Structure 1
Amino acid sequence: MKHLILTAIIAIPGILNSQSLSDLYKKVSPSVVVIQTKEEIEHSDGQVSYMGSQGSGVLISSQGEILTAAHVVNNAEHITVIFHDGKKFPAKVIRLATVADVALIKLVYFDNQYPVAELGDSDLADVGDDVFIIGAPFGLEHSLSKGIISGKSIEKTRMEGFTFAEFFQTDAAINHGNSGGPMFNSKGEVIGLVSYIVSESGGFDGIGFAATINVTKQLVVDSDKRRWTGINGVLVDKELAKLLNVPQPGGILIQSVVALSPAFMANLKGGNVPLRIGDQEINIGGDIILEVNDIPIISEENIITFFKSTYLMEKEERNSFKLKILRAGKVQEVILQFAE
């Protein structure tokens, strides 16, 4: 008899945890959204096609603000947000930080009938803590996966106190379509945004990463200092600079420009001639950014220096950036203007 009682007592915690997770899922799931995007692709023959993709996100304010991964929306011409009841809303990018793969988008209109997720404190999370993720892996909307925090990776610049990026490693299942979806702690608070996986199979191999919510807040929520330009670019190294006849040992080669973005309004041009270098394929023929506000873009350190400098600018100074670009062999200056 005592053995039966002991067995029942041991089983109770598992039942309670299962019920608790079920309750938490029901509570927070309506704040999780599916994000569908459409990107315009210009080919070397002048033809234009559209490519659609899908990710996830989480509603964080009654004004229709949503957090997601930067790579989900960075190149999007059109963004559609779908809630759990099937209602769809158009959205636009407000702020974006590719260095940490986080973005803030906002619904163009919103009827404010959905619950807002609560943001936690990711600094309080430890390795071994239980977490769960809600997203749309392979289009399976509002799918739940559970795991633990397996590790924590912090990347800082050489400048004291400036966090470049910070990620939680997790064994909670992450697959295509989960990107940008929220990672919740055992209280149902968002402590991370799904970013990427490390995989040899192409699917989930037990190692996934989520950008921490504290760095996300610092970069795109609590600050208006991180601007979305609409530029998709790659860093030019010394070898590529020589190949492209760039008059300095680096720059940013523009791959594409999102329609109606600040970069589009500044008449910046993306490339349309594919070039394979090793296992990487890039598009050449577009503008190459040489300087931003007189800071030469010759290394990752210089880019970080520019990011750091924006935090010291007055608000009015951040409304426009001066770019020096290389276009068709000639150096030009353009002004990248941001709306108020």
Structure 2
Amino acid sequence: MRTRILMMLVGVLLAGSAAPAAAEPLSQVFKRVNNAVVVVRTTQKQMAAGPERQLVSMPGLGSGVLISADGKVMTASHVVQIADDITVEFLNGELIPAKVVSSEPTADVALLQLARLPANAVFATLGDSEKVEVGEEVFIIGAPLGLTHTLTVGHISAHRNQNTVYSGISRSDFFQTDAAINPGNSGGPMFNMQGQIVGIVSHMLSKSGGFEGMGFVVTSDMARRILLERSPFWSGIHGYMLIGELARVFNLPQPAGLLVQGVASKSFAEQIGLRPGTLRAIIEGEALIIGGDILLEVQGIPIMESKKSTKVIREELSHLRSGAEIKVTILRDGKKQELSTRIP
């Protein structure tokens, strides 16, 4: 009996001493995934300040993350949507040209294709953002204010559904986080503590211009669905939706249209002949670049106030094959015109 009791006590003590496996330290997780994080350097045409009304080439900077062995990089749409040239910089300083494969401005996610892979490339894994809960610790790696491969740590503050954060990015699910986000972080990855990508940095809300604890990150599941599970499409247009009073100010022949603000080189928009604006103006409190074309229809589908037409148009164009004709109707100099091109 005494022997049996001693054996039970030993079993209890041994069970109590068996500690769970220690979590990997953040410093080690950072080292493991940091090589997959990149700096996205761009040049794009912008209106010069002053009365000259000239387009000048301006540099831009964001972040991104290598997600596959064939050279795919995820970033934010607003970093590359109208970029004329894109160069991706890796941790070792190696610079590799890239091009846009797919970009969705209404969700603020984009996919790049590298011209080649760097030696000993490391890519990160997309995690399941559905399993991420409010309160979980996360970390972000990016290039805030140009300071490359900067680590910031925080928590998931909330999960925001579509159409609840920012009207210009209406099609995305977001994580709200208190991990510091600043200009240059856009497009960078947010990781869970296992080193899986659970989001792509989009933007912050701030009254001061600096970080105030409210950053917004597109969930990895949303990025996956839009960029990897749908046919790719990149318009190369930066536009502003004209509705209501603005539609009347611009004398649109219909309730809504898309004012072309910028056009990327080598894009569908340039190929078909769309012209961007040339004059800065503030109308109804909105800072706009006016004088460019206004899109009225694409493939016979009118631009509508509800923005549902944008989704329908994107789906229509993404399924077209090489040689197919694309037609758009525009308002140029007060007159309706039709432009067309064929997909290469």
Q: 1:138–1:213: structure 2 CA closer, same or farther, 3 Å change rule?
A: same
Letter in 2 for 1:204: F
Deviation at 1:111, TM superposition (A): 3.7
1-side partners of 2:284 and 2:206: how far apart? 20
1:181 pairs, out of 169, 175, 188, with 188
Matched, 1:284 2:295: no
2:43 aligns to what?
Answer: 38
SS of the equivalent of 1:165 reads: coil
2:167 aligns to what?
Answer: none
Letter in 1 for 2:270: F
User: Any idea what the Cα deviations from partners look like across 1:72-113, whole Å, max 9, x if unmatched?
Assistant: 111211111100000001111110011110000111233452
2:87 aligns to what?
Answer: 80
SS of the equivalent of 1:155 reads: coil
Deviation at 1:307, TM superposition (A): 5.0
Asked whether the equivalents of residues 289 and 324 of structure 1 are also in contact (C-alpha less than 8 Å), the reply is yes
Matched, 1:316 2:321: yes
Letter in 2 for 1:198: L
User: Any idea what the Cα deviations from partners look like across 1:105-129, whole Å, max 9, x if unmatched?
Assistant: 1112334521010010111111111
2-side partners of 1:143 and 1:53: how far apart? 18
Deviation at 1:184, TM superposition (A): 0.3
Letter in 1 for 2:40: I
1-side partners of 2:181 and 2:150: how far apart? 10
SS of the equivalent of 1:41 reads: strand
Matched, 1:123 2:130: yes
SS of the equivalent of 1:298 reads: coil
Matched, 1:70 2:40: no
Matched, 1:330 2:343: no
SS of the equivalent of 2:25 reads: helix
Matched, 1:61 2:57: no
2-side partners of 1:132 and 1:319: how far apart? 44
1-side partners of 2:299 and 2:180: how far apart? 42
User: Any idea what the Cα deviations from partners look like across 1:216-252, whole Å, max 9, x if unmatched?
Assistant: 111112222x411111100001211221121112100
2-side partners of 1:67 and 1:203: how far apart? 25
Matched, 1:241 2:241: no
2:54 pairs, out of 47, 62, 65, with 47
Asked whether the equivalents of residues 95 and 220 of structure 1 are also in contact (C-alpha less than 8 Å), the reply is yes
User: Any idea what the Cα deviations from partners look like across 1:202-226, whole Å, max 9, x if unmatched?
Assistant: 11101100001111111112222x4
2-side partners of 1:323 and 1:48: how far apart? 24
1:261 pairs, out of 257, 260, 267, with 267
Asked whether the equivalents of residues 295 and 302 of structure 1 are also in contact (C-alpha less than 8 Å), the reply is no
SS of the equivalent of 1:215 reads: helix
User: Any idea what the Cα deviations from partners look like across 1:23-49, whole Å, max 9, x if unmatched?
Assistant: 100000000000111111245735332
SS of the equivalent of 1:164 reads: coil
> Structure 1: which 5+ residue stretches go unaligned?
1-11, 158-162
2-side partners of 1:268 and 1:144: how far apart? 41
2-side partners of 1:303 and 1:123: how far apart? 28
Matched, 1:228 2:234: yes
Deviation at 1:279, TM superposition (A): 3.9
> Structure 2: which 5+ residue stretches go unaligned?
1-18, 165-169
Deviation at 1:317, TM superposition (A): 9.1
1:160 aligns to what?
Answer: none
SS of the equivalent of 2:246 reads: helix
Structure 1-normalised TM-score? 0.87
Asked whether the equivalents of residues 60 and 67 of structure 1 are also in contact (C-alpha less than 8 Å), the reply is yes
2-side partners of 1:253 and 1:196: how far apart? 23
1:217 aligns to what?
Answer: 224
1:138 aligns to what?
Answer: 145
Matched, 1:167 2:166: no
Letter in 1 for 2:28: D
2-side partners of 1:129 and 1:266: how far apart? 47
User: Any idea what the Cα deviations from partners look like across 1:151-179, whole Å, max 9, x if unmatched?
Assistant: 0111179xxxxx92100000111111100
1:270 pairs, out of 265, 272, 276, with 276
1-side partners of 2:326 and 2:299: how far apart? 6
Letter in 2 for 1:333: E
Deviation at 1:301, TM superposition (A): 3.5
Q: 1:132–1:303: structure 2 CA closer, same or farther, 3 Å change rule?
A: same
Q: Percent identity?
A: 42
Letter in 2 for 1:99: T
Deviation at 1:305, TM superposition (A): 5.0
Letter in 2 for 1:322: K
| Root-mean-square deviation over aligned CA pairs | 2.4
1-side partners of 2:136 and 2:341: how far apart? 44
Q: Report the number of matched residues.
A: 318
Asked whether the equivalents of residues 252 and 289 of structure 1 are also in contact (C-alpha less than 8 Å), the reply is yes
Q: 1:62–1:309: structure 2 CA closer, same or farther, 3 Å change rule?
A: closer
Q: 1:281–1:246: structure 2 CA closer, same or farther, 3 Å change rule?
A: same
